[in-house]
Each structure stands twice: as structure tokens, then as C-alpha cells.
């Protein structure tokens, strides 16, 4: 039984890691990456006006998510942001972050 549980955990981890990869992703994985890319652009627009990033999705008016995608902005301040996204049809989750040293108008993006 322990061997089977280990296999299941390894399989789930592999699927989660593949969701963020740029090759061979599911349609829901593509929607997740699109949502995070849209969030990155929307955070840059918010930063241009407020000189900080937003942790509250309701204040980012330019963000429209694909159907079934949920985005969680885990943290945001004047130096950057971190968010994850998932899709209701899959077990895939993907994360992305942006950081800014205050000398640029756009964040440096780390993620998928």
C-alpha cells in the first residue's frame, strides 16, 4: 500500500509540474497560463498608477479570467507580487511572480 501511495504522490507532482511547462499542456493548463500572463499585464497597469502591486483582484479592473480559472494573489506590495491559478476541470496549478526594484515600469516575471 505504501508503494502505491508513493506512486500516486509522484504522479500528482509530475502532473502539477507539467501544467506550468511550455510543452504539452492540457487546454485547461493553457487557460491557466493565459490567466497568469493577463494578471501580470494587469498588475503592471495597476503599478503604473499606484506604485505598488495589488493583492485584491477586485481592484484590478482590467483582469478578465477565462471560464473555470481561479486566480489567488498570494502576496503583493511595492516590490512585487506572487499568484497561483488553477482550473476547475483539472488538478493543474501554476504559479507566477513579478518583482520590481522600483526603477522600472514593468515587473520582471518569474513563472511559466
Q: From residue 4, how far is each of 1, 8, 11, 17 by CA, in Å? A: 5, 6, 10, 20
Query: Cα 80 to the chain's mean position, in Å?
Result: 13
Q: Mind listing the pLDDT tens digit for each residue in 50-102?
A: 999 999 988 887 788 888 999 999 999 999 999 999 998 877 788 888 888 77
How many angstroms separate the CA atoms of 45 and 68, rounded?
24
How many angstroms separate the CA atoms of 94 and 111, rounded?
8
Cell of 38: 493577463
Q: Mind listing the pLDDT tens digit for each residue in 28-49?
A: 888 899 999 999 999 999 998 9
- Length of the chain (residues): 112
How many angstroms separate the CA atoms of 34 and 28, rounded?
10
Total-model pTM: 0.71
Amino acid at each position: 500500500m505504501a508503494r502505491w501511495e508513493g506512486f500516486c504522490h509522484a504522479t500528482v507532482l509530475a502532473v502539477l509540474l507539467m501544467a506550468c511547462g511550455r510543452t504539452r499542456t492540457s487546454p485547461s493548463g493553457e487557460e491557466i497560463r493565459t490567466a497568469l500572463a493577463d494578471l501580470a499585464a494587469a498588475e503592471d497597469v495597476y503599478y503604473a498608477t499606484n506604485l505598488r502591486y495589488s493583492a485584491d483582484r477586485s481592484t484590478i479592473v482590467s483582469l478578465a479570467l477565462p471560464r473555470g480559472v481561479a486566480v489567488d494573489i498570494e502576496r503583493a506590495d511595492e516590490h512585487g507580487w506572487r499568484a497561483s491559478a488553477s482550473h476547475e476541470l483539472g488538478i493543474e496549478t501554476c504559479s507566477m511572480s513579478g518583482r520590481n526594484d522600483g526603477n522600472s515600469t514593468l515587473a520582471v516575471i518569474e513563472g511559466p
